[in-house]
Chain A
Amino acid sequence: MVDWRLYEPLINFARKRSMWIVAFCTGCGGIEMPPLATSRYDFERFGIMPNPAPRMADLFLITGYVTPKTLKRIIITYEMQPDPKYVLAHGSCPLNGGVYWDGYNAIKHLDKYLPIDVAIAGCMPRPEAVMDGIQKMMELIETGKADGWKRYKENYEYYKKNQDELFGEGWREKTARRWIPWLMDKKKEVREE
C-alpha cells in the first residue's frame, strides 16, 4: 500500500497552514482574540479559523487564568478533539499562577494537568506577541516536534493522578450529576401547578 510517511512534508505543511481553533477562550485573554481575528492583525491569512465544534478543531488557546471549574471543562473538551492537537497558553497565569499566585481559585501550574506546546509570556500578551507565538507553533509543527498529544497519551497516568488529586476521584460523574437534584425538583413543582 501507499507509505504515507513519504508524504510527511506535505501533510505537515497542510497541518501548519490550516489550524482551526476551538472557540473556547478562558479567562481574561478572550479580549485579545478579536484584534487578531479582524482586519488589524488578520490571522486568517495563515489559515486559522475559529470553529465552534471541538471534534473538528486542532488548536486550543488557553488565554489567561484557569479556575478548577473551567479546568474540568477544558479537560473534557481537550479529550474530545482528534489527534494531532496543540495547546497554546497565553499569559503568565498558566505558567505560575500570575497575579493570582495566592488565590484559592486559580490553577498555578497548568502543565501538570494538560500538555502545553507553546507558552507566550505577558499579562495579556499583545497581538504581536501572539503572532510570534503562532509562528513558533508553526515551526514546531513543521519540524515534527509539536507532540503535546503524544505526551498526553504516553504519560496519561501522570496527568490523571494530578487531576484526581485536585478534583477528587470520580470527578466526571460527580460534575455531570451535580445539578440533577435541583432540576428534577423544579420540574416536579412545575408539573403540579
Chain B
Amino acid sequence: MIEIALKALFILIYATFIGFMFMGMIRIVTARIHRRVGPPIYQPILDTIKLLSKKSNITHGLIYDFGVIYALGATILAIMFIPLGNIGVLRAYGDLVLITFLLEIPMLGIMFAAMSSGNPYAGIGAQRALLTMLAIQVPLGFAIVALAEYYGTFSTYEIVMAQQSMGWSITALPLLFAAIAYDLVLQAMFGKEPFDIMIAPGEISLGPMVEFGGKHMGILQIQHAIALFGETLFFSNIFLGGAAITIFGSSILNTIATLVVLLIKQTAVLLVATFMGAIFPRFTIDQATRFYWKWPTIIAALGAILATL
C-alpha cells in the first residue's frame, strides 16, 4: 500500500519535472532555429513560480476555479495508467480507449472555466478548441482501431510486451500509417503550429486562456507539462516500442535504464513536433478541419483496413 503511494508520488514528481524540461526544450529549440540564444532550459519552472506567487487573483465564480482543477486531475490520472517500466501504478488496467479519453478531458475542463468567465475572446477560443477536438477524433479513432486489430488486444501493457519480442510497431506497414496519422493528431493535442488555433496568440489574445492569471495560470502550466509528458509517453509506448528492460540484476538499475530509454524516445517525438511547429504558420479552423478529415483519415483508414488482413 505504502509502496503504491510512493510509486505514484514518484511518477508525479518525475512527470512534472520532465514535462517542464520538455516545455523549456521546445522554447530553446525554436529559438535556436530562429538563430537566437534562447531562454535557459529551466525557464518554465521560473514562469510557474512567478505565476503562483502573484499576490492578487481574479476569480469569476465556482466553475472558473473548478475547471482548472478538473483539468489537472484528469491529466494526473491519465499518467498513472500509462506503463512506465515497472513502476507504472495502474498499468494493468490502462487500455487504449481509456487513456485517449483521459488525455482529452483537460481541454474540456479549460473550456468550462474559460466560457464561464464571460470574456468574448474566451468564448470564441473555446468554440474553436472544441471544433479542433472534434476534427481530430476521426483519424485518432482509426489509428486506435488499427492498433487493436493488429495486436488483438486493447491493453497498453500487452502491446508493450508484444513489441519487445516482435520489434517496434512502426516496422509493420499498417501501423506505420497509423503512426503517421497519430503524429499529425499530436500536433493539435500539443497546441503547436500549424494547428494552434485554440491558443492563437495575438489573434484572439490566447483564446481560452485570456482570463486566467496568477494561480490559475500556474496550475495550467503544470497541467501542460504533465500533458506533454503523458502524450509523448503514450506515443512511445504504443508505436515506438516502450522499454521493459530486464537485463540488469537489481530492479533499480532496470527502472533507471527503462526511464532513460523512454526519455530518449519521448524527446524524439517532441523534437519532430517542434521542428514541424517552427516552420508552419497557422491554419484557420475550417482549413484545419478539412485537412484532418481528408488526408490523416485516409491514411489511418488504410492502416486499419490493412491491419485486419
Known: A38-B36, A42-B31. A56 touches B51 (CB 8 A): yes
CB distance from A165 to the nearest CB of B (A): 27
The yes or no answer to B171 lying at the interface (CB within 8 A) is no
Let me know if A47 and B47 touch, CB within 8 A. yes
Binds A, one of B92-100, B128-136, B202-210, B272-280: B202-210
Let me know if A56 and B53 touch, CB within 8 A. no
Q: Which residues of A contact B201 (CB under 8 A)?
A: 51-52
Chain B contact surface mostly = loop
The yes or no answer to B152 lying at the interface (CB within 8 A) is no
The yes or no answer to B290 lying at the interface (CB within 8 A) is no
Q: What 1/0 mask marks residues of chain A from 111 to 136 whose CB sits below 8 Å from any chain B CB?
A: 00000000000000000000000000
Binds A, one of B38-46, B80-88, B161-169: B38-46
Contact of A18 among B34, B38, B47, B214 (CB under 8 A): B47
Q: Which residues of A147-185 are within 8 A (CB) of B? A: none
Let me know if A39 and B56 touch, CB within 8 A. no
The yes or no answer to B26 lying at the interface (CB within 8 A) is no
Let me know if B56 and A10 touch, CB within 8 A. no
CB distance from B61 to the nearest CB of A (A): 15
Which chain A residue shows the least CB distance to B202? A52
Q: Which residues of A contact B209 (CB under 8 A)?
A: 53, 56
Let me know if B34 and A38 touch, CB within 8 A. yes
Q: Which residues of A contact B56 (CB under 8 A)?
A: 82-83
CB distance from A37 to the nearest CB of B (A): 9
- Complex Cα–Cα for A81 and B214 (A): 9
User: How many B residues touch the partner, as a band?
Assistant: 20 to 34
- Complex Cα–Cα for A52 and B209 (A): 10
Q: Which residues of A10-38 are within 8 A (CB) of B? A: 10-11, 13-15, 17-18, 20, 23, 38
Let me know if B34 and A55 touch, CB within 8 A. no
The yes or no answer to B212 lying at the interface (CB within 8 A) is yes
The yes or no answer to B217 lying at the interface (CB within 8 A) is yes
Q: Which residues of B46-61 are within 8 A (CB) of A? A: 46-47, 49-51, 53-58
Beyond contacts A11-B50, A14-B49: 19 other A-B pairs, Cβ-Cβ < 8 A, are: A13-B46, A15-B50, A17-B43, A17-B46, A18-B47, A39-B36, A42-B37, A44-B38, A44-B39, A45-B37, A45-B39, A51-B201, A52-B202, A55-B58, A55-B214, A58-B54, A81-B213, A82-B54, A83-B56
Which residues does B use to contact A, with CB under 8 Å?
Answer: 27, 31, 34-40, 43, 45-47, 49-51, 53-58, 201-202, 205-206, 209-214, 217
Pairs across A and B, CB under 8 Å, 12 listed: A10-B49, A13-B46, A15-B53, A38-B34, A38-B36, A44-B31, A45-B38, A45-B40, A47-B39, A53-B213, A55-B213, A82-B56
Which residues does A use to contact B, with CB under 8 Å?
Answer: 4, 10-11, 13-15, 17-18, 20, 23, 38-39, 42, 44-47, 51-53, 55-56, 58, 81-84
